Every structure is written in C-alpha cells, then in structure tokens.
Amino acid sequence: MSELISAPHSGTFYSRQKFASIFADIGTAALRLLPAELAHDIGMGLMKAGALNYLPAPALDIAMAGMKVRVPGIGDLPHPIGLAAGFDKNCKCPGAFVHMGFSMVEIGTVTPFGQTGNPKPRLFRQSEQRALINRMGFNGDGAATVSERLKQLNWNNDRVPLGINCGKNKVTPPERAIQDYLQVIEAFKGLCKYFVVNISSPNTPGLRDLATPAFIEQLADEVGHDRSKIWIKIDPDMTRREFQELVSTIADRGFQGVIISNTHRVTFPEVGGQSGHPVMALSTACLEWAWEVHKGRLPMIASGGVLSGIDLFQKLSRGASAVQIYTALVYRGPWVVWKLLLELNAEMRLRGYSCVEDFIGSYYEH
C-alpha cells in the first residue's frame, strides 16, 4: 500500500486526482445551492445523461488494495462500499454509481404500484450537522415499470451485485403488507442479486409496526426458500429488547442478513427520517446489539452515518461485512467512494491492518 501514501504527493497522479476532486467538488457545491430535492433530481438527470463520463475519474484501483470483502449471499466485492436505497428509487441510472466506484447498488424502495409520495418539500439539508431529513414516502414508479427498466439494462449481477429494496404501498392495509412485499419480489426474480424487505422507513404510516417477530415468522413461511436471498432492513429507534428479539427471529428463520439501519425518526426541525452524521452513534450501537444476539452468525450490512473512513472502520470492526452510504454522497460528492477508501486505508495502517477482512468484527475480540 505504500504507493497509496506516496503517490498522491507526486507528479501526474497527483494532478489527475486533484483535478478530478476539485472539478467534482465545485459541481457538488453548486448543487447544494439549490433546494435539496431539486438538486437531487438535477444530479440524477446529469448522471443519466452520462455527465460523469466527462469528469476525470480518480484511479480507484490504487485505493482498493486490501479492501476485498466477502458478503454472504451477495459475493466477493472489491471493497465494502455500496449505495444505500433511496438514491436511485426507480433504477434510472445504476450504471452511473458503478462509474462512481460503488461495489454494489441498491435500487428502491420499490412498491407494487407507482405512487407520488408525500407533498413537497420533503427533503431537507442540515448542512452544519452533515445530515438530511426526508419524508419522501416511497415516491416511485412501481414494480412493473422499474423491473422492465432493469430488464432493458441487462445488468450483470456477477460484476456488480444489484439489490431491490421492497416496500408496501401507502394504501395497503397492514394485514395485506406481506402480499405487497411478495409482489415486488416476484416482479424482480432473476433480475437482481438480493432483496431487502424494508420494514424500517419512518414515512409510510404503519410500516415500522411490521418490525415484530410475528411478522418475520409469517414472512418466512410465505417466502419459503427465497429467504436466503432476503435481507431485512431495520430501524434504529427500537428499545434494545425489541431490537434483539427481532434480530433473533430473523437469524432463527434463516434470512440472509440484516441491514442496520434505516434513518432515525425525528420531529424537529422537520418531521421525517434523519440520516448522516447524527445517526452514526445510534446506528452503530444497533450493530453491537445485534452482534450480542447472533455472535457473527447473521451477516450484517451497515448503513447510517458513514461520512469518513474512520466511520467506515467503526462499522466494519463491529462486524458489518459491508457498508452502504447515502448522505455522504450528497456532502462529499461523486468521488466519495475513492475518498472513503483512501481514508479507510490510512486508518487501517495506523491500527496495523493490511486488509479489511482482518478487522471485521475485531471490536468484540478480547
């Protein structure tokens, strides 16, 4: 890894990386002058039009030495940073996230039928805290449209695994929620590498009430063998006891793993789910609660508050096999993966590790 530290200080490598970074930082700062959802939509439009291809990309291969991870059910990844759900809800441009260097991409939340979501404004920045609050409410095109879009892409899941995050429509009563999840799963069968059952978004009334052992039991019975492809995404706002009972049932019933966590529910200064830095401690504590229950038996993907390489290290050392980010992309721009990998590398070297897999779960070692 010595080239990683020395190279950025020398010659053409340095100029190229710096140029790539400055260019992208200016674009990101300009977008942040706009209202948050408009900035997101313009950013997505630019990505879909292939604008990233005109930006000089940083040399990711150098940052990736020692970063390989194996995520059960998903596969071997060149590094542990994936895109979290919500950024590309409708599968408009998953390829752009591969160009940014993400090692896996999650699409959705997808609901059976298209719906408009909550009235705008519904996405807010808290820049001084490096946070966002959203109450989008599963705005999306619906399973048929999104799956058709993915089909047209001929996505190669062996190269970059793509996951589908599944939700329920707002109008679906709780007792029929399972049918909604099954419908979305059915629509994407054979098109993606893994599924996520989202019972943790705070912006669909009643959704979090599904986060009970009883619902998990029922879901397990309904999906049968497909359980091994399904991850359950959990919220960070339960009591320790509720959380651990849920995780215990998920592990016992043979689901592939858990994504810990979704956003933190807030009511001030806006109602919605908070993401970014303020969620880091809460969400990381939930990884520890889960580990207490399964002791490494149940794979975990971490999501919540990762904005730096040190944050990344904290999540992996607490037993996450991989990490997903959303808010960091908003605040640190399109080359955030590269930035995080460089920072993670520095943190690893400081602590005497040369590869990521050597310290996954190390927090629990005595």
6 φ, ψ (degrees, to nearest 5): -80, -40
| Distance in angstroms (rounded) separating the CA atoms of residues 76 and 159 | 10
* Neighbouring C-beta atoms of residue 107, cutoff 10 Å: 30
Show the site string, 94-123: x = touches ligand FMN by CB under 6 A, - = not.
Answer: --------------xx-------------x
b or e along 292-331 (b: 16 or more beta carbons within 10 Å of the residue's beta carbon)? Answer: ebbeeebbbbbbbbbbbbebbbbbbbbbbbbbbbbbbbbb
Show the site string, 296-315: x = touches ligand FMN by CB under 6 A, - = not.
Answer: -------xxxx---------
Among 146, 327, 332, 338, binds ligand FMN (CB under 6 A): 327
170 φ, ψ (degrees, to nearest 5): -60, -40
Q: How far is the CB of 54 from ligand FMN (least distance, A)?
A: 26
- From 21, 103, 200, 201, active-site residue: 201
Q: Which is nearer to ligand FMN, 247 or 306 (CB)?
A: 306
94 φ, ψ (degrees, to nearest 5): -60, -30
Q: Give yes or no for residue 89 binding ligand FMN (CB under 6 A).
A: yes
* Neighbouring C-beta atoms of residue 206, cutoff 10 Å: 12
Among 147, 262, 308, 321, binds ligand FMN (CB under 6 A): 262
Coil, helix or strand for 211? coil
AA letter at 306: V
Among 165, 308, 317, 345, binds ligand FMN (CB under 6 A): 165
Give the count of residues interacting with ligand FMN (CB under 6 A).
Answer: 27
Report the half-sphere exposure of 140 (CA within 13 A, side-chain side): 32
Q: Give yes or no for residue 192 binding ligand FMN (CB under 6 A).
A: no
Contact 343, 37 (CB under 8 A): no
Residues 6+ apart with CB under 8 A from 366: none
Q: How far is the CB of 149 from ligand FMN (least distance, A)?
A: 16
Q: Is 261 an active-site residue?
A: no
Q: Give yes or no for residue 132 binding ligand FMN (CB under 6 A).
A: yes
Q: Which is nearer to ligand FMN, 43 or 62 (CB)?
A: 43
Q: Which is nearer to ligand FMN, 52 or 340 (CB)?
A: 340
| Distance in angstroms (rounded) separating the CA atoms of residues 259 and 231 | 7
Q: How far is the CB of 297 from ligand FMN (least distance, A)?
A: 23
Q: How far is the CB of 352 from ligand FMN (least distance, A)?
A: 27
Which residue number is nearest to ligand FMN in terms of Cβ?
86
Helices 11-31 and 36-48, interaxial angle, to 10°? Answer: 130
Among 52, 98, 136, 290, binds ligand FMN (CB under 6 A): 136
Q: Give yes or no for residue 126 binding ligand FMN (CB under 6 A).
A: no
Q: Which ranges constitute the DSSP H helices of 237-308? A: 240-252, 280-294
Helix H or strand E encompassing 274: strand 272-276
Q: Which is nearer to ligand FMN, 80 or 86 (CB)?
A: 86
Would you state the structure tokens that stand for residue 188, as one six-digit string? 């994407």
- Considering only the stretches 17-25, 80-88, 95-103, 338-346, report the one whose residues sit in contact with ligand FMN under the rule CB under 6 A: 80-88
**Site of interaction with ligand FMN (CB under 6 A):** 84-86, 89, 108-109, 123, 132, 134, 136, 165, 198, 201, 233, 262-263, 275-276, 279, 303-306, 325-328
Q: What residues are labeled active site?
A: 201
